[in-house]
Chain A
């Protein structure tokens, strides 16, 4: 197996164009596991850890954040928790400290597991994934178009993930994940809600409950129609219940070793109710302070 070590982004893109079968490796927390399990025997590994810009994040002129594909979870938590709280909460649930030091959002996107913890917050925030090839340059793929199937994403063979670009949180965000143990666990199902008060709508993301991570669109429409953004009253139980039902209904879960389809749907409704309650309460408090 060849081990390619590009020093720059341009070199990395050139290497990927030349050898589309080369498997990019960032933190290696998925790649090395797959190699150990003999899931694949790639002709080459393309080590991206020397490409400095992948490990940076910055503010775009329009105020959005651009986060390089190689920024590890540990830094998402320590550096971005105020601007991307949903993603930082999701990052906090990933694996163990060692995995959070190595593992990256870019790698999570590359792996495109339906259980990846980054996906629900990226969906709920309306993130865009920037991918690039030497031949065709940059493409911006909205998160919801990025996931194509179980462990399949929208990358072309010659493309690499460069960054994701996402608005800074304009309101409360909450991520919640169900696992059968209290740490270091792959999601049985997960959910993220992000309030966007300026747009008077809320975004959602569901993980590990369908072949791909997805938004609960009907639930989002329901909230857009029902939430009283100007008011500061707590949410009505009926609204919460309906929201939970719509989120549960949006999923297409299966029975597997981690849980049953029925449990996943049920748990998603519970998570949806709870996270929306927390988010709305934060929003009310903020609104009261402004008032």
Chain B
């Protein structure tokens, strides 16, 4: 077992505790292309798995003939639903997603059969040779119809509405100023760079060892084991190098498939999706259609908000219920409003399944409520900043769920600071083409270019909500080495690029300083230690950071007792004589409560985080092309653990929000994905993402470790509406939909 040496590549540095911009231990390897991702896993005797997927969004399966595939050279196994050893269904919240389609398919790309062969190309060709007799049935592709038309076919027996969460408070739904709008958010993809991949190795005890890129080892294991008909302890998972996640690895993809093939063939089985398959192999961000009505006094104070938020969950449940919960509870944003009628719906359709993605239900609502705030500002004759400041929550405010915001939430001050940042200079004629809309494609030299400025505000719940038993586990061991006491930190937390490995080591160095620990090694994440929970909901610094801190404190406690008993010994001598000192601890955040099913009331969140953005754009109004000139952000993170990593999160989150505002959309027509490639699913390049101006605040949350506030998701929320608002300001167009397409501006 090789651990991750967390010393900086440029040599050991002391004082790499929390608050320091400790460099990533895997940073150099990643930028030089030497880091081993899950797709690089290799065993000499391994074979390759491939998946046959449904070409239809909705069809009955009359028969499957695996004969032609089995007859092909090099093919070791061909499996269908009949070969699933245990429970044929899995799922994060509802165990109803077939491991392999049973008698029908519900979305284009649904797995139908598996092949193991001695070469990946042979496996693919054999999969293509399987003959499936489909009877195509009517696909339900319109979320509104799925939700509200009783005549609409049902995607599942339970009906098409998988969750309806109302929020009701107050009774005044009249106001002097009323603005309303209908908004739409397209289907965004997480677009991680390392496609789904893993290696399943059959074990002598009849179990399986799976090396896998995932976000949550234990929830994978708890879904995989029943499908394999194995007890949990016989399914052992180790985290392989993860090439990004953003929510897309929260659901299973090829995990059960690789294990089934490994158990059947008795050989290690590797599965690696290509980019196109990846688009079908993971859930996306829910597309949303939203209707909002805001009522306010003439001086711009909110009286009421009515909203209907319709989220298309696609063919299976995934984490849609929790996404609906967020959309509902955060549906009006970080604003004080006494009268609310929000209805959030998650529905089944035969579109691609949707689930977790950075921002998780809060992103869609944020685009709508922020668009509404701008309309309201205009109706009241106020600036976008002023309307937000007048209604901003602060510590002591209540969410629409009745939950008290008991930690600092200085939104009004954040807006004031944001507004005070100087504006970037105007882009003159004769500028570098790269600074103009269209870039080096040379579509303008200044013709048609107008500048716009827009603001966006977002609020995101951190950690799991609605009564979920959310915890993380850490095992910390301090042992003597010739170089002095050395700490081993073992958790199951998934490093998905966010920098958790760096932060865990920083915490251990900080907490174990008095033991003389400078060197910290992270044991690879696996299921031999307790669950760390998911690397999602911006929660790992809080939760696994909290667990590492607590376990370190327990080790330190024992050390102090020893030190008190042996006053003559140095820390190194104490560790040498009495070590190793090892403690394992679980860490839990404050409990949360479910939302009332009828009123949505309840303390459903444990922590809330705010980010505000200002976007400055240049728009070529004739061609509809946009250049984002600058993004500025103010975010309150409670406590900075690693500034470098944190800034990276804010840059990256803002860029992902920019993508949603201007280009990123999985285009689905009649249930079929039309752009499953990076040729046509566009993500921002370095020429699309502008420099950022940032202010990071540290108003501690007393309930959280070190006072920190989860930071990864909030910037993804607010950058999208800020950019959309800036484009509206430049063009005068209403633009109720993101991503904004060139024709929406040029030919409305």
Contacts and interface: CB of A to CB of B under 8 A. Distances in A.
Contact of B742 (A174, A188, A277): A188
B444 interface: yes
A277 B442 CA distance: 13
Interface in A145-198: 174-186, 188
Interface string A237-272: 000000000000000000001111011001100110
Given A38-B124, A178-B625, A258-B680, A266 B441 contact: no
B171 to A, nearest CB: 46
Contacts of A277: 447
A267 B438 CA distance: 12
A178 B437 CA distance: 10
A36 B623 contact: no
A183 B743 contact: no
Contacts of B686: 183
B439 A183 contact: yes
Given A176-B443, A263-B747, A182 B688 contact: yes
Majority DSSP secondary structure for residues of B touching A: loop
Nearest to B448: A270
A259 B437 contact: no
B627 A182 contact: yes
A66 interface: no
Given A181-B663, A182-B627, A174 B442 contact: yes
Contact of A180 (B274, B622, B677, B741): B741
A178 B667 contact: no
Interface residues of B, number: 39
Contact of A93 (B442, B444, B741): B442
A181 B682 contact: yes
B444 A274 contact: yes
Given A177-B443, A178-B443, A263 B746 contact: yes
Contact of A178 (B276, B438, B674, B684): B438
A257 B682 CA distance: 11
A89 interface: yes
Interface in B558-583: none
A182 to B, nearest CB: 3
Given A262-B747, A263-B742, A186 B439 contact: no
A170 to B, nearest CB: 21
A180 B747 contact: no
A182 B442 contact: no
Interface in B707-748: 741-743, 746-747
A177 B448 CA distance: 16
B679 A186 contact: yes
A195 to B, nearest CB: 16
Contacts of A263: 624, 742-743, 746-747
Contact of A177 (B441, B682, B743): B441
B667 A257 contact: yes
Interface in A199-229: none
A92 interface: yes
Nearest to A177: B441
B623 A178 contact: yes
Counting chain A CB atoms within 10 Å of each CB, which of B438, B447, B677, B688 scores highest?
Answer: B438
B746 A266 contact: yes
Contacts, number: 98
A89 B686 CA distance: 20
B685 interface: yes
A284 B204 CA distance: 83
B15 interface: no
A74 to B, nearest CB: 14
B128 to A, nearest CB: 9
A180 B663 contact: yes
Interface in B686-709: 686-688
B72 interface: no
B274 A36 contact: yes
A181 B444 CA distance: 14
Interface in A17-47: 36-38
B742 A175 contact: no
B431 to A, nearest CB: 13
A176 to B, nearest CB: 5
B675 interface: yes
Given A178-B443, A257-B667, A270 B623 contact: yes
Contact of A278 (B445, B622, B625, B687): B445
Nearest to B274: A36
A64 to B, nearest CB: 25
Contact of B439 (A89, A182, A266, A274): A182
Nearest to B667: A257
A37 B663 CA distance: 23
A162 B675 CA distance: 34
Contacts of A36: 274
Nearest to A183: B687
B742 A182 contact: no
A278 B446 CA distance: 12
Contacts of A274: 443-445, 447
B382 interface: no
A267 B447 contact: no
The listed residue with most B CB atoms (<10 A of its CB), out of A175, A177, A181, A263, is A181
B71 interface: no
Interface string A84-110: 000001001100000000000000000
A180 B682 contact: yes
A184 B440 CA distance: 10
B442 A257 contact: no
Nearest to B745: A263
A266 B572 CA distance: 75
A252 B682 CA distance: 25
A37 B277 CA distance: 10
Contacts of B679: 186
B688 A181 contact: yes
A72 B28 CA distance: 31
B743 A262 contact: yes
Contacts of B440: 92-93, 182-183
Given A89-B442, A176-B442, A271-B443, A182 B675 contact: no
A37 B279 CA distance: 14
B741 A176 contact: no
B688 A183 contact: yes
A180 B742 contact: yes
A93 B622 contact: no
B685 A184 contact: yes
B444 A182 contact: no
Interface string B648-663: 0000000000000011
Contact of A266 (B437, B442, B662, B747): B747
A257 B624 CA distance: 16
Nearest to B625: A178
Contacts of A259: 741-743
A-B interface, 6 closest residue pairs, ranked by CB to CB distance from nearest: A182-B439, A263-B743, A183-B687, A177-B441, A182-B687, A257-B675
Given A182-B440, A263-B747, 11 more contacts: A93-B440, A181-B682, A181-B685, A182-B434, A182-B627, A182-B687, A182-B688, A183-B685, A185-B682, A186-B679, A267-B742
9 contacts: A181-B662, A181-B682, A182-B625, A183-B440, A259-B741, A267-B746, A274-B445, A277-B447, A278-B445
